[in-house]
Amino acid sequence: MHLSTAETEGTISAIVSRSPRRTMRRKRQTLVVLGVDPGTLVSGYGVVEQNGSIVRLLGCGTINNRSTKSMPLRLKKIYSELSTVITQFKPDEFAIESAFYGKNAQSALKLGHARGVSILAAVEHEIPTTEYSPREVKHAVVGNGAASKEQVQFMVKSMLGLADARMLHDTSDALAIAICHLHRLARPKTKLKDWKSYIAAHPERVKA
């Protein structure tokens, strides 16, 4: 795998392997998911492909904005570069981290802007979108909803065979979101008869 990083303005900092060919030749059991960890200064993205029981990395990286750039221009860049990623990898599904309400109002507002343009990029390409809370993602990848970013990154690298790869937490968080979505899709859907059953099935959604 070729690893490359680009930190200059107007480029995407990325770890990229070969792009998938989303044509009629793609086998039915193959699924490509784009995960996004949104942010107005740094947005992480990760694209994984599942073929049967095998999950592999297709591409990942960050979209970087300077703090001196106006908010509208930052949002335009996030939308434009995510659209480029979508065009390149042609994901079947899109997953993004939901708003984290523990942050202050200003941070939550900025995060909401980044989430909005990210989701718009997916919707305009007619890709089904799903949102996951940070706790849900950590629980799916690590088995602990209160896991640290370091623990999440370690598990992501282990799952994708990237032990020696350099990776920002924004990138590993995005890959974790994509992997979380794969786990949710693989889980059989069962109808829950009451609130107690829901809590038992989704402990990560209940605040202590």
Which listed residue (81, 97, 136, 173) is catalytic?
97
pLDDT at 13 over 50: no
Contact, 180 vs 95, CB < 8 A? Answer: yes
| pLDDT tens-digit map of 36-71 | 999 999 999 999 999 988 999 999 999 999 999 999
Helix or strand holding residue 49 (H, E): strand 42-51
Average pLDDT, the chain: 83
- Tell me the pTM: 0.79
Q: How far apart are CA 81 and CA 65, in angstroms?
A: 11
The secondary structure of residue 132, as a DSSP letter, is E
- Is 170 marked active-site? yes
CATH homologous superfamily of 12-205 equals: Ribonuclease H-like superfamily/Ribonuclease H (3.30.420.10)
pLDDT at 202 over 60: no
Please count the CA atoms within 13 angstroms of the CA of 64 that sit on its side-chain side. 14
Which listed residue (49, 81, 136, 170) is catalytic?
170
Highest mean pLDDT among 14-23, 27-36, 75-84: 75-84
* Helix boundaries (H) for the chain: 71-89, 105-124, 134-141, 149-160, 169-186, 195-201
**Beta strands 42-51 and 54-64, pairing class:** antiparallel
Contact, 49 vs 31, CB < 8 A? Answer: yes
- Better pLDDT: 4 or 135: 135
- Is 37 marked active-site? yes
| pLDDT tens-digit map of 122-171 | 999 999 999 999 999 999 999 998 899 999 999 999 999 998 889 999 99
